[in-house]
Amino acid sequence: MIIRKFEPADFEGVLEIESVAFSEHNPFLYMNFYEMNNEGFLVAEEKGYIVGFVVGYKVSDIEGRIFSLAVREGYQSHGIGTQLLKSIIGVFRTMSLKYSSLEVRISNHGAQKLYKSMDFIACWIEHGYYSDGEDGIIMKKQLLLQ
Ligand SMILES: CC(C)(COP(=O)(O)OP(=O)(O)OC[C@H]1O[C@@H](n2cnc3c(N)ncnc32)[C@H](O)[C@@H]1OP(=O)(O)O)[C@@H](O)C(=O)NCCC(=O)NCCS
C-alpha cells in the first residue's frame, strides 16, 4: 500500500469510497480541492486500486483542517486510516502549522477512537452541525510539540 497525492484519474475511486462512507455527498468539492489544494489531497493505493483518501487544507496561518478521511469497506481495520492521518499531519507540519482540527459525528465512535489514538482532543460540540441535525465534535491536535 502506498500513499501519494491525488491525481484526476483517482476521482472515480475516491467517489466510490465517499458515496459509501458519508451520507452527505459533494463530488464537485473534491475536484475543487484538487484544483485549489493539491498538497492536501492524498490517496491510499493498493496494487493500482484506490482504497482510501484524506483531504486536508490550511484554514489559517496556524491551523490545518482535515475535511474528509475514509477507507474503502473491506480494507478497514488494517491501519490505512492511521497511515492517511499520519500523512496529512506530515503535510501540515511541512506547512509549519501549529494545530490540526477536524469534526466528527458524535455517533462515530470508531473514528473518534482513531483520532484519540493520534492525540486529537475533543474540544467542543457543534450542535446540529450536520444536515440531518446530528451534533459534531470538534477535535484538535497540537502539531509542533513532538
Ligand atoms: C474511520 C476510518 C477512516 C478508519 O479507517 P481504518 O483504516 O479502518 O482505521 P485503522 O485500521 O487505522 O484503525 C486504527 C484504530 O482506530 C480505531 N478504529 C477505527 N475504526 C474503528 C471502528 N469502526 N470501530 C472501533 N474502532 C475503530 C481502532 O482503535 C483502530 O485500532 P485497532 O484496529 O488496533 O483497534 C474508516 O473506518 C472509515 O472510512 N469510516 C467511514 C468514514 C468515516 O467515518 N470517516 C471519518 C469521518 S470524521
To which residue does cell 484506490 refer?
50
pTM of the model: 0.95
CA distance 52 to 43: 6
> Residue with the nearest Cα to atom 41 of ligand 1?
21
pLDDT in tens, the chain (146 residues): 999 999 999 999 999 999 999 988 788 889 898 898 889 999 999 999 999 999 999 999 999 999 999 999 999 999 999 999 999 999 999 999 999 999 999 999 999 999 999 999 999 999 999 999 999 999 999 997 55
Residue 68 alpha carbon, nearest atom of ligand 1:
47
Pocket of ligand 1 contains residue 76 by CB under 6 Å: yes
* 52 contact partners, CB below 8 Å, separation of at least 6: 17, 43, 44, 69, 70, 71, 72, 75, 80, 81, 84
Measured in degrees and rounded to the nearest 5, phi and psi for residue 48 equal 80, 0
Sort strands 63-71 and 99-105 into parallel, antiparallel or unpaired: parallel
Cell of 29: 468539492
| CA–centroid distance, residue 119 to ligand 1 (Å) | 15
C-alpha dihedral over 66, 32, 9, 49, to 10 degrees?
20
pLDDT on residue 96: 95
| pLDDT score for 5 | 97
pLDDT at 89: 97
Angle 41-4-65 from CA coordinates, rounded to 5°: 30
Query: Which pLDDT does position 145 carry in this prediction?
Result: 57
Give the fold, CATH level 3, of 2-142.
Aminopeptidase (3.40.630)
Please tell me the distance from the alpha carbon of residue 129 to that of residue 127, in angstroms, as a whole number: 5
Atom of ligand 1 nearest to the CA of 111: 1
104 lines ligand 1 (CB under 6 A): yes
Q: Write down the pLDDT at residue 113.
A: 98
Give pLDDT, residue 27: 84
